Amino acid sequence: MEPDETSLDPKDWSELRALGHRMVDELFDHMAALRSQPVWRPLPLSLRAQLRGEPLPRQGRAPEQVYQEARDLLFRYGLGSIHPGFMGWVHGGGNPVGALAELFAAGINANLGGRDHVAIEMERQVIRWVAELLGFPSESAGLLVTGSSQANLMGVLVARSAALGPSVRAHGIGDAKLAAYTSAAAHACIPRAFEIAGLGRETLREIPVDSEYQMDLAELRKAIREDKARGYRPFLLLATAGTVDTGAIDPLARLAEIARAEGMWLHVDGAIGALLACAPALREKIAGIEQAQSVALDFHKWGQVPYDAGCFLARSAAPLLATFGQNPHYLQPTARGLAAGTPWPFELGPDLSRGFRALKVWMTLKTYGTERLGACIAQCCALARYAAARISAEPELELLAPVPLNIVCFRYRNGNTLDTLNADIVADVQESGLAVPSLTRIQGKLAIRAAIVNHRTRREDIDALLDAVLKMGRLRAAQSA
């Protein structure tokens, strides 16, 4: 057999080319008609069973058939996060140019772990743009990673190396008595980062929040004082710019002062809020972020870049190299040739092989510019204020937390056992396909949470959500009466 007979490329490209065109057409038709579709539909049991029972495909089939099968599943039973009525958790809407970029990046199939090729230069460009946006120094360094869970973990690891020096890489933390601080409203990936890093969750002090859900500075100072008196070394302060429950932003400039005075690394979890820097009227809310040692942010949330696209940024490459740098003999950089171009990205983070995430970010930023992305962010915040005003005016609804950003926590309050009732209402609304909110807990009360992140969401979608909650609430209230 000739070697080329076993290639996966087609002999004649015309059919596959036609399929590619059709896939783009059908995808864009789907995107253009989202509002005529339910936000989400549950996967029928029979179909789930069929998917779970299907054996490994040993023989191939025509790509048209395979695509149609995927399309029929995904257009009908997908997550729904591109739909303007999707307000569950904190999900970005993606964008059509970012989708084209993903197709193109997959075709180029670049590995951005290292070597001297232009895709890496494009990722470095994105990192420089993020630094410029946030007011970080021009020598800042970082990586695009899966998401802020990974970027926050990197922040913890880098701060640990900075505190303990190179010996921590050989010996672990030994009997070092380290203490780190974050707010009680911080995302759950932060305590998990301490678990993964081997520091243990108890190294992290969860500081109570004030009535605005921001870290309480008096409580922080008290915790630091007590830790020092007990022989602990404060090494890391993790601030949040946009908490996952209410969108609260910790007082970043004042936290930067405290971190400086105590010799702590300041890392900002900006998964939601760092991109407020794109919106001129809102960027003041994150003033002080430019003083952080490192930042995590998510392009796949308010940046509207398709999943996944997180980012870790530090003020220079040095602390990253000190944490992750390696030079095994099979990855030795050289002065010239394809192995030039140090440092290679794999030395700045935990991954060796790395996909071309940067292209969808690069194309999204270049196509829309930060101004248009910022306008989408401002629009989401205005819609959240509109939702809050409607909720406050509606006797059957109760607003459960302030709305400083794009997240609205509320509940239906006409009935008994409100937690059960609101959990039922959220499932009812999701299953109706009218909207997708999610649940959280605010001061012990189960809350309906609407996070408005999608650039496609409009007032009519907010109205559809609130009308659906009222409708399901009344139905449930009538049933139990």
Binding site for ligand PLP (CB under 6 A): 90, 147-149, 187, 189, 240, 242-244, 269, 271-272, 298, 310
Q: Report, in Å, the least distance between residue 236 CB and ligand PLP.
A: 16
| Nearer residue to ligand PLP within complex by CB, 141 or 189 | 189
User: Using CA atoms, how far apart are residues 441 and 121, in angstroms rounded to an integer?
Assistant: 44
| Nearer residue to ligand PLP within complex by CB, 105 or 271 | 271
Q: Report, in Å, the least distance between residue 242 CB and ligand PLP.
A: 6
CA-wise closest residue to 202 among 178, 235, 218, 228: 178
CB of 163 within 8 A of CB of 128?
A: no
| Nearer residue to ligand PLP within complex by CB, 182 or 422 | 182
Q: Which residue is nearest to ligand PLP (CB)?
A: 147
| Nearer residue to ligand PLP within complex by CB, 348 or 407 | 407
User: Using CA atoms, how far apart are residues 118 and 355, in angstroms rounded to an integer?
Assistant: 13
Q: Report, in Å, the least distance between residue 201 CB and ligand PLP.
A: 16
Q: Report, in Å, the least distance between residue 91 CB and ligand PLP.
A: 9
Phi and psi at residue 412, in whole multiples of 5°? -85, 130
User: Using CA atoms, how far apart are residues 38 and 317, in angstroms rounded to an integer?
Assistant: 46
Q: Report, in Å, the least distance between residue 109 CB and ligand PLP.
A: 24
| Nearer residue to ligand PLP within complex by CB, 219 or 298 | 298
| Nearer residue to ligand PLP within complex by CB, 244 or 397 | 244
Tokens (6 digits) for 468: 């659906």
| Nearer residue to ligand PLP within complex by CB, 183 or 203 | 183
User: Using CA atoms, how far apart are residues 237 and 162, in angstroms rounded to an integer?
Assistant: 13
User: Using CA atoms, how far apart are residues 456 and 226, in angstroms rounded to an integer?
Assistant: 48
Looking at residue 386, what DSSP letter applies? Answer: H
Strand extents, DSSP E, 123-219: 141-145, 178-183, 204-207
Q: Report, in Å, the least distance between residue 187 CB and ligand PLP.
A: 3
Strand pairing class (178-183; 204-207): parallel
Q: Report, in Å, the least distance between residue 214 CB and ligand PLP.
A: 13
Strand pairing class (445-451; 407-412): antiparallel
